[in-house]
């Protein structure tokens, strides 16, 4: 090495690197720069979500109606409860993380181990909660009909309460034609996950029940979805209805506008990816703390750096929480 390094003659002087104007180590500074650029990535996601909300301001789904499931309590439908729990969880794991950093600054190995363990538990619970959220979102609840134009028709009774398409669909004995290559598009196969009820069953059930109305994506001036009269409902369904949607994927979702599910998957997915990376980093420093690597190094700065990343994940969640669930 010695031979390849050109000596500048300024070693130990200001221009030789002796001066540390920002009084932070290289690793910490670079982590801050990374977090800055990562925050712009999340900004990109969230502003494009904002663009779509502005563009579809009068037909965007209402988040309170979508995210209202609580694990272990199947009968109640309360918006906000579960996501509030997730937010508290992440803030609390941030607190244990910053306590771990503080204990590290005072070189208390046992305390760091304990607090890192609590932080890890918080992170794992959060990611499991997100898995629950995703699975209920993908599975769906009430089901809906998609129109030819890609709009979603949902069903309500005369009081305005949502009705599941599975409750009113009638048995239908007509045979379903299997898609063959010589009929229609040759490059399209059979749908991989057929829906539980067919379009004809929903149609028969809808026509037989006079108290079921159609609720469209468009909203009135108070931000509530418009419910059509029975005649309009019938006309809308028969003229435009084209397929049954249950749950959500990247192409169709029963909650409303198609892009709603896409943004949900991408933004919470990207955040969940960050949480997963954070859990791996936390596990690494947890392990290193137990075996005493940082005691030998006489510095717990690595815990501090992982802590910075973990707080950033919390910071992003604060914004996702506001713009996805509250606004």
Partner 1 sequence: MAQEHNLAIFRGKLKFKDNQSKIWGVFILLSIVTAIEVGLGMLRPEALIHTKWFSFIPILEMTPLTFIFILLTIVKAYYITWDFMHMRDEVKFLRRIIVWSAVFYIIYFVVLVLLEGQYMYDVLTNGFIKFDF
Q: Both tokens of residue 189?
A: 């196969």
Pick between residue 92 and residue 132 the one whose CB is nearest to partner 1. 92
Q: Calculate the alpha carbon distances from 292 to 199, 307, 309 in Å.
A: 63, 18, 22
Q: Both tokens of residue 140?
A: 């769906």
Please state the φ and ψ torsions of residue 243, each to the nearest 5 degrees: -155, 160
Does residue 65 belong to the site contacting partner 1 (CB under 8 A)? no
Q: Applying CB under 8 A, which of residues 16, 41, 55, 290 lies at the interface with partner 1?
A: 55
Is 256 exposed, middle or buried (CB count within 10 Å of its CB: 0-12, 13-18, 19+)? buried
Which x/- pattern over 109-148 shows residues binding partner 1 (rule: CB under 8 A)?
---------------------------------------x
What count of Cα atoms within 13 Å lies in the side-chain half-sphere of residue 164? Answer: 9
Q: Both tokens of residue 179?
A: 């898609």
Q: Applying CB under 8 A, which of residues 118, 127, 243, 308 lies at the interface with partner 1?
A: 308
Q: Calculate the alpha carbon distances from 196 to 66, 138, 202 in Å.
A: 20, 14, 11
Q: How many residues bind partner 1 (CB under 8 A)?
A: 66
Beta bridge partners of 216: none
Does residue 226 belong to the site contacting partner 1 (CB under 8 A)? no
Interacting positions 239-298 with partner 1 (CB under 8 A): none
Nearest-approach distance from CB 300 to partner 1, in angstroms: 7
Judged by the rule CB under 8 A, the positions of this chain that interact with partner 1 are: 21-24, 29, 32-33, 35-36, 39-40, 43-44, 47-48, 50-58, 64, 78-80, 84, 87-88, 91-92, 94-95, 97-99, 101-102, 104-106, 148-151, 222-223, 299-301, 304, 307-308, 311-312, 314-315, 318-319, 321-322, 325-327
């Amino acid at each position: 090495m010695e031979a390849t390094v050109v000596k500048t003659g300024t070693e130990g002087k200001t221009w030789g690197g002796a001066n540390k104007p920002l009084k932070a180590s290289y690793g910490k500074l670079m982590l801050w720069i990374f977090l800055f650029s990562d925050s712009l990535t999340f900004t990109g996601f969230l502003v494009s979500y904002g663009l779509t909300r502005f563009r579809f301001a009068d037909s965007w789904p209402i988040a309170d109606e979508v995210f209202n499931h609580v694990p272990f309590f199947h009968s109640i439908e309360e918006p906000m409860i579960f996501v509030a729990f997730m937010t508290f969880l992440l803030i609390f794991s941030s607190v244990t993380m910053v306590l771990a950093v503080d204990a590290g600054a005072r070189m208390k190995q046992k305390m760091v181990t304990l607090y890192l363990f609590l932080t890890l538990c918080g992170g794992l619970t959060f990611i499991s909660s997100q898995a629950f959220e995703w699975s209920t979102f993908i599975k769906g609840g009430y089901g809906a009909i998609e129109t030819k134009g890609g709009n979603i028709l949902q069903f309500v009774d005369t009081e305005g309460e949502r009705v599941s398409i599975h409750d009113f669909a009638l048995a239908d004995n007509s045979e379903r034609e299997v898609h063959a290559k010589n009929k229609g598009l040759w490059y399209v196969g059979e749908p991989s996950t057929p829906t539980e009820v067919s379009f004809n069953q929903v149609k028969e059930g809808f026509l037989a029940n006079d108290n079921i109305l159609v609720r469209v994506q468009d909203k009135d001036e108070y931000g509530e979805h418009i419910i059509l009269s029975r005649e309009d409902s019938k006309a809308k369904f028969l003229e435009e209805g084209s397929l049954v949607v249950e749950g959500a994927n990247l192409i169709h979702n029963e909650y409303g506008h198609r892009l709603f599910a896409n943004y949900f998957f991408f933004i919470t997915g990207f955040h969940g990816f960050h949480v997963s990376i954070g859990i791996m980093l936390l596990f690494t420093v947890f392990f290193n703390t137990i075996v005493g690597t940082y005691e030998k190094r006489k510095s717990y700065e690595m815990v501090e750096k992982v802590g910075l990343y973990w707080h950033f994940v919390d910071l992003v969640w604060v914004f996702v929480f506001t713009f996805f669930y509250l606004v």
